[in-house]
Structure 1
Amino acid sequence: MALRRFDLDHVGAEIGQHLCAVWSGQNAAEIDDLNPVQHFHRSVSPCYAIDLVHGRALRAYNRVRWAAGRPPEHDASIDKGEAAVSEALERAHETIEHHEHGHGQGDPWARRVAVLVSALAAALAITGIAGNAAQNEYLTHHVAVSDDWSFYQAKNLRATVTDSEMHLLASLPNAAEPAIQSRIKEAKATAERMRDDPVGGKGMKQLSQLARTEETLRNEAHHRYHGYEYAAGALEIAIVLASVSVVTRIRALTLAAAGIGVLAGLAAGSVALDIF
């Protein structure tokens, strides 16, 4: 089946524009005319999530192309999800500065929220790096598993052919001749070496053990990757909540952001320490 790409740019743009309009209470055509505070609302609105989903969907599509032996497509929007994190942080600090100028003096609570957002962003960056490392490890072991089992099948095929040759030689009328017996012994030794080669370490027995070891490492890396992804998602939500709390002045959102951030950090730490 030919690999097809869905129009992620068009769908993401349409959904994002609609959600931005709903969030801000304005028409889609008026989105670009928002003032800085309203524009910040847009950065932490569902448009932020659309950017993240869009970027990850495109990365997933390119990974499928890579697995199929085709080069990934180059698209500037592939970095949109990561850029949204930096953009949200910048607008969060801009909003905090706006509120400080509005009050005439620095707002200690807003400054604490800024520190919280910075800490969450740092944790998100570390978690993202760890997640990418786990994903690369998973792909490496996955390729190794495929290679080992392919080699195993090749050894099995050669052993089967050698067995057939040995039985055919033994069924010949002149099977008792020394030359035929020598070929039978050689074929038997080759078949045994294909199945078990403790010296070279490339027999079917050794290859199956190696493949199962690689499968275990692959599954562990896959588990860590998903753990880091969940932690990164929670940290992104925490950053959004902390940023919204500055605009709405709802301190419960700050506490919720801090709580989610702590839980996400503990989850990422437990994944790194292989507790779960």
Structure 2
Amino acid sequence: MEDEFHVHGAHEHEVEHAATHGQGGTVALAQQVAIFTAILAAIGAVVSYLGGNTQNESLMHKNEAVLYKAHASDQWSFYQAKSTKAHLMTLASQLAPEDKRQGYAQDLKRYETEKKEIKARAEAFEAQSRYENELADKYFHPHHALALAMTFIQIAIALASVTALTQRRWLLWPAGLGALVGCGLAVWAYL
């Protein structure tokens, strides 16, 4: 019987090592980049959600502000109509015979009372509209910083991808810096 004895050459050992461990650490680098990119993608998803949410909340409050402003406008139109009627009652009471002036005076008094109530409602609607506008501005305030944060996170992901493709480990530094700036901007948006 012949014993088979095989000696591996140096190049075969190197090929086998590269296949299982990666050449020059390429598998390790690829794994690091993949994990880094996955973490950035998760952070980016949260930042993107927060950015969209700021827009939605702001738009909702802007819509409410417009609605209250429309109600206020309706009340001011109603107030103007009552003012016009009151002016007509004033003229009518001045031009009417003495026996009819009392009725016009009562109508004038009623219109003046109604005007005060209508004015109070109109001013309340305007105050609510201002409040909703302030809320809209408050909710929209972090949007710009979140959009900028998302941009930096996307740049970091792109640089990490280029790192994996080109095997240029030094590209992880600008990718990491972009990720830090992006995450910092996302936190700063709410301070």
> What is the TM-score normalised by the length of structure 1?
0.57
Deviation at 1:267, TM superposition (A): 0.8
Deviation at 1:234, TM superposition (A): 1.4
Q: Which of residues 166, 169, 192 in structure 1 aligns to 2:89?
A: 169
CA distance in 2, matches of 1:217, 1:266: 24
* Partner SS state of residue 144, structure 1: helix
Tell which structure's C-alpha radius of gyration is larger.
Answer: 2
State the one-letter code of the partner of 1:257: A
Percent identity over paired residues: 22
Q: How does 1:1-276 map to 2 (within 5 A)?
A: 103-106=19-22, 107-172=27-92, 173-174=95-96, 177-196=101-120, 203-271=121-189, 273=190, 275=191
Residue by residue, what CA displacement relative to the aligned partner does 1:120-169 show, whole Å, maximum 9, x if unpaired?
00101111111121111011011111111111111111111111110110
Deviation at 1:114, TM superposition (A): 1.6
CA distance in 2, matches of 1:218, 1:227: 16
CA distance in 1, matches of 2:188, 2:19: 42
Deviation at 1:104, TM superposition (A): 3.2
Q: Give the gaps of 5 or more residues in structure 2.
A: 1-16
* Partner SS state of residue 123, structure 1: helix
Deviation at 1:113, TM superposition (A): 1.6
- Which residue pairs with 1:79 in the alignment? none
State the one-letter code of the partner of 1:105: H
Deviation at 1:115, TM superposition (A): 1.4
State the one-letter code of the partner of 1:207: F
Residue by residue, what CA displacement relative to the aligned partner does 1:204-242 show, whole Å, maximum 9, x if unpaired?
221221111111111222222222222112111111110
CA distance in 2, matches of 1:102, 1:194: 84
Instruction: Call closer, same or farther: CA 1:254–1:103 in 2, change over 3 Å.
Output: farther
Q: Which moved more, 1:224-233 or 1:259-268?
A: 224-233
Deviation at 1:178, TM superposition (A): 2.9
State the one-letter code of the partner of 1:245: T
CA distance in 2, matches of 1:252, 1:162: 76
Residue by residue, what CA displacement relative to the aligned partner does 1:240-265 show, whole Å, maximum 9, x if unpaired?
11011011122222111111111111
> What is the TM-score normalised by the length of structure 2?
0.80
Q: Which has the higher contact order (CA 8 A, sep 6+)?
A: 2
Instruction: Call closer, same or farther: CA 1:211–1:121 in 2, change over 3 Å.
Output: same
Q: Give the gaps of 5 or more residues in structure 1.
A: 1-100, 197-202
Pairs aligned (count): 167
CA distance in 1, matches of 2:114, 2:143: 42
CA distance in 1, matches of 2:177, 2:138: 28
Deviation at 1:103, TM superposition (A): 4.8
Residue by residue, what CA displacement relative to the aligned partner does 1:6-54 show, whole Å, maximum 9, x if unpaired?
xxxxxxxxxxxxxxxxxxxxxxxxxxxxxxxxxxxxxxxxxxxxxxxxx
CA distance in 2, matches of 1:227, 1:253: 25
State the one-letter code of the partner of 1:185: K
- Which residue pairs with 2:10 in the alignment? none
RMSD value, Cα: 1.9
Does structure 1 conserve the Cα–Cα contact (< 8 Å) formed by 2:65 and 2:129?
yes
